[in-house]
Structure 1
Amino acid sequence: MNAQDLKKSILQLAIQGKLVEQREEEGTAKELLKKIEAENKQLIKEGKIKKQKAFPEIKEVEIPFDIPESWEWVRLGEIGQIVGGGTPKTGNCEFWNGGNIPWLTPADMKFVLGKYVENGERFITEKGLKGSSAQLMPKGTIIYSSRAPIGYIAISNNALATNQGFKSFVPYEPRINEYIYYCLIARTNEIISRASGTTFKEISGNEFSLTVVPLPPLEEQKRIVAKIEELMPYVDKYDVAYSEVEELNKKFPENMQKSILQYAMQGKLVEQREEDGTAEDLYKQIQEENKKLIKEGKIKTTKALPEITEDEIPFDIPENWKWIRLGDLCDYGKCNSISAKNIPKDAWILDLEDIEKDSGRIINKKTMKDLKSTSSKHIFKKGDVLYSKLRPYLNKVVVADEDGYSTSEILPLDFGRHIFNKYAQIVLMSPYFINYTVKCSYGVKMPRLGTEDGKLALFPLAPLEEQKRIVDKIEEMLPFTKKLVNR
């Protein structure tokens, strides 16, 4: 149950007579109605209000729930006057300039935070009041919007007027206004159900006056209001707590996924096994293979990267692992390009929007014939790790499942046979690597990771067999986080 539902439940209990106990010494609502009727007759006699036609008797089908014996069902128009509003001609300066009569519109009610209202954005003059259908209503009037939308509500803290977007309630007995205020909040859905109109729904003054409300004795009304207002601060606290829990629930799957990846990078997801060897031995094999490829002229000698300092290391890793710079494990930033006219029509073309963020999943495959691209592309082969250097916080990294071509913002990375490509993908998608790329990115509107910063990035190298076990464990666990997202 969210806070809004809890508030509705409290108000519903209140108007059913279940929030506070009934007390015999407080009399009955029937006695209160006699006093209200006497007050009504006095106002008619004094010419302050007009005599109204008798209201129709309340039918059994109109009564939504049982109420205590000391209460009475009444129509709103029987216990107060329903007052409309109006708008003085906007072109007449005498109606507006220098006015000191608060004049409300439903738009003003958006900014009413509490139970009371004093004024809106605009004021009208006495001439504006007399020259329109706007009416000056006394302090204590319940201001109730009748359209666009129905149900904005507040109690006036001073005399004021409204436009025609209201059907306000001036109680014959002023002391019932606070209870009726909460009662109307609770009954608003029922009021809306009786509204009419095509462009927008509106409740007419006559229909509003027919609203059926449960009336308790006056002293019980006061206790009901006091209890509601005692409970509402707790509802507000509940709202904050509920929102925080909801936010945690929303973030939990994502945070869990990040935690899994981070644990993997720290060597905490699977056990280390002596028979797997060490990353130091693995790195020596990588270096030997690179020397061989250089000797064969298949790759070029590259400038040595600086040694890793202790200050750079972001976290501890197992003893049989090794921190290596990314540029020492793949030829980061060096790509083979091809002109668009030389790409076969049936070749796979990968764009950034074809990669789902955070998932490592390709969501769309297009061929050259599907596109009208004239820009050159990067060539990649099956098994390459395809890394998006543009807006790296979007975390778009995939492993190519076939040969193809990509936008120049995607870098094909060949990690060779000594590093499992899916493990390399996981490293590049891990929280610590994303934090590094965001920190190093340049450009405000279109941030990207530069080649030198990419080469200098640290890569936690695990023994090859452990790399495979890490990938297997992550692929086993991540579907559970996705189930949490889809709950």
Structure 2
Amino acid sequence: MNAERLLEVYEQISEAPDAIARLRRFVLGLAMHGKLVEQDSGDEPASVLLNQIAAEKARLIKSGEIRKPRELTNGEELEPPFEIPVSWQWCRLDVIGAIIGGGTPSAGDPNNFSKPGEGIPWLTPADLGGYRDLSISRGARDLTEKGLASSSATMMPSGTVLFTSRAPIGYVAIAANPISTNQGFKSIVPYVAECSRFIALAMRTFAPEIDARAPGTTFKEVSGKIVAGVAFPLPPLPEQHRIVAKVDELMALCDRLEEARKTREETRDKLTTASLARLTAPDTMPEDFPAHAAFALDALPALTTRPDQIKTLRQTILNLAVRGKLVEQNPADEPASDLLEKAKEDIAEYGQANGVRPAKVDKIRGFPFDVPFGWAWTRLASIFRVVTDGDHQPPPRSDAGVAFLTIGNVSGGTLEFDGCRRVPQEYFDALPRYRTPSAGDLLYTVVGATFGRPVVVDDHEPFCVQRHIAILKPSSEMSLPFLGLLMASPFVYSQAKEALTGAAQPTLTLRPLRNFMLPIPPLTEQHRIVAKVDALMALCNRLAAALTTTETTRTRLLEALLHEALEPEARALEAAE
């Protein structure tokens, strides 16, 4: 083991996904395989320790200090899962310690419980959730003597290895004093107390395997029989002490590396946020914007190390687009005010032809932010021929009818027709055409956690939608791609979020949707914005692809460097062979 070497190489792989967690698991894995510290020929072999454990177990039972443990084996032979040093010994976990469950007294009797520090220490799995220390003295509640006597909870000595067996499986701690637990534990009381720390390390290492053996899906629980039958690699006692000391050293090193990474991530996030914020800040002057944009675009590849940062960049691009800060304005462009007048005429004509009454919208009083010369503010209903939604009643089903899309079919940003529900053709034919989507429309989710996501409808088979989806039919005077990115922008999303009503199922109703405030540029600038956004989104795609490639490379390098830094003797053996 060479901690200094690990420090030297860590910077090369520190950005790998779950680098610290992987390093911790790797250290524990080496410890259980007998590859973390050197073996000492002067140590008594583990077979001697097993004899001592058996003798101590017999003494404890004879003296009445413990009850004779229940036999949990069916006589099956232990199969070693991997090779261990010759001085070690494979055994079942219940050979080296008693497997003890727990219990809970009646919650209806307040006399069964007392405040922490005033009664008998008692743990539940919740007490170990987020708990970082190895030793623990008590939980959120204590038991009274009555509570202990009226339940199957058992007092266990200090040094007991506490292992949660449900909700969830795999939390590990060591009792700092006599303690009891609820039934969510299968704890190990070592027959030789000095084995406690190594047993705890082993249980942390084997927790994922034990969890995988637990039956159930929504509620998993591992039985005492499964825990008792865990194949346990037992080293000589002196080597156990050396392993525990080395693991403590390396875990402390991991703590320092984790803190350094956290600090580095916070600094990077602050710099990224500050760089992007300057682009949309109200006090950013037009003449300063190019310099801020150039700095952000130059710095972003170096600052972007996580997928969520790519998402932030995409949102910033859309934010700049709808604020008129992404492309230059052309004074020769027809102003948006003229465009809105044309849209008004188009909407009126469509309404007369299709029996759609014009939507009532509020007057505009004040603007959310300043827009460039030639732009104009308007309400959403002023640029869409129709803003409606799907049927509010559950439609009849049909095996081979017209597709009926629910919010689950559009929430991913595209339309999913595979396996969707179908409705009879006559049901679809009875719907007004303005309430059925067609190519060139926008669908906008308005209910639940996936609200506020637009989807542009391409040419497709006829279909209809449920009421959780709004149907927006744009004026022919507007650029559909621009409207798509406008509706996907953080500015519009924030309005949707603010307008939600209801707690159990948040809903955006049609009236506030029709009243969304939208900044509209001239039509020719809409086209330029769309082209620029497409180019920048392509850059984001390349950054995301490069990030994926880099993550793969870092992960492979992590594995190689961990073996080089932590397992030099294995490399030497491989070279000799």
Q: Given the two structures, how large is their TM-score scaled by the length of structure 2? A: 0.55
Q: Which amino acid aligns with 2:374?
A: K
Secondary structure of the corresponding residue to residue 9 of structure 1: helix
Counterpart pick for 2:172 among 144, 150, 153? 153
Aligned to 1:123: 143
CA distance in 1, matches of 2:198, 2:455: 60
CA distance in 2, matches of 1:241, 1:156: 33
**What is the Cα deviation at residue 365 of structure 1?**
11
Report which stretch shifted further, 236-245 or 6-15.
236-245
Aligned to 2:565: none
Q: Cα 1:258–1:83, aligned 2, differ >3 Å: closer, same or farther? A: closer
CA distance in 1, matches of 2:152, 2:501: 60
Matched, 1:461 2:522: yes
Residues 114-164 of structure 1: per-residue CA shift (max 9 Å, x gap): 3233345462638965x8876532211223356777644321122134567
CA distance in 2, matches of 1:178, 1:151: 16
Counterpart pick for 2:80 among 62, 65, 70? 62
Aligned to 2:235: 214
Q: Which amino acid aligns with 1:326?
A: T
Aligned to 2:552: none
CA distance in 2, matches of 1:381, 1:165: 53
Q: Cα 1:216–1:468, aligned 2, differ >3 Å: closer, same or farther? A: same
Matched, 1:75 2:87: no
Aligned to 1:447: 508
Q: Which amino acid aligns with 1:447?
A: L
**What is the Cα deviation at residue 222 of structure 1?**
4.9
**What is the Cα deviation at residue 230 of structure 1?**
1.7
Aligned to 1:414: 475
Report which stretch shifted further, 80-89 or 135-144.
80-89
Secondary structure of the corresponding residue to residue 251 of structure 1: helix
Q: How does 1:314-463 map to 2 (within 5 A)?
A: 314=370, 317=372, 322-326=374-378, 330=382, 353=407, 356-357=410-411, 359=413, 369=425, 371=427, 378=434, 386=442, 394-396=452-454, 398=456, 410-416=471-477, 419-435=478-494, 441=499, 445-448=506-509, 450=511, 454=515, 457-463=518-524
**What is the Cα deviation at residue 185 of structure 1?**
2.0
Residues 356-410 of structure 1: per-residue CA shift (max 9 Å, x gap): 3584768689888364898877479977655759579614364686999997954
Aligned to 1:204: 225
CA distance in 2, matches of 1:328, 1:125: 68
Q: Cα 1:47–1:168, aligned 2, differ >3 Å: closer, same or farther? A: same
CA distance in 2, matches of 1:480, 1:175: 59
Aligned to 1:343: none
Aligned to 1:84: 100
Secondary structure of the corresponding residue to residue 375 of structure 2: strand
Q: Cα 1:287–1:374, aligned 2, differ >3 Å: closer, same or farther? A: closer
Q: Cα 1:467–1:48, aligned 2, differ >3 Å: closer, same or farther? A: closer
CA contact (8 A) 2:122 2:181 kept: yes
**What is the Cα deviation at residue 228 of structure 1?**
4.5
CA distance in 2, matches of 1:88, 1:185: 25
CA distance in 2, matches of 1:29, 1:249: 48
The structure that has the greater radius of gyration is 1
CA contact (8 A) 2:43 2:236 kept: no
Matched, 1:279 2:301: no
CA contact (8 A) 2:413 2:454 kept: yes
Counterpart pick for 1:114 among 129, 133, 137? 133
CA distance in 2, matches of 1:405, 1:209: 56
Matched, 1:9 2:26: yes
Secondary structure of the corresponding residue to residue 204 of structure 1: helix
Matched, 1:175 2:233: no
Q: Which amino acid aligns with 2:100?
A: G
Q: Cα 1:258–1:167, aligned 2, differ >3 Å: closer, same or farther? A: closer
Q: Which amino acid aligns with 1:62?
A: P
Residues 271-309 of structure 1: per-residue CA shift (max 9 Å, x gap): 77x7xx722468658769989999xxx999999x99998
Provide the aligned C-alpha RMSD in A.
Answer: 6.3
CA distance in 2, matches of 1:223, 1:400: 64
CA distance in 2, matches of 1:292, 1:165: 67
Instruction: Count matched residues.
Output: 455
**What is the Cα deviation at residue 5 of structure 1?**
3.2
CA distance in 1, matches of 2:537, 2:159: 59
CA contact (8 A) 2:111 2:144 kept: yes
Secondary structure of the corresponding residue to residue 159 of structure 1: coil
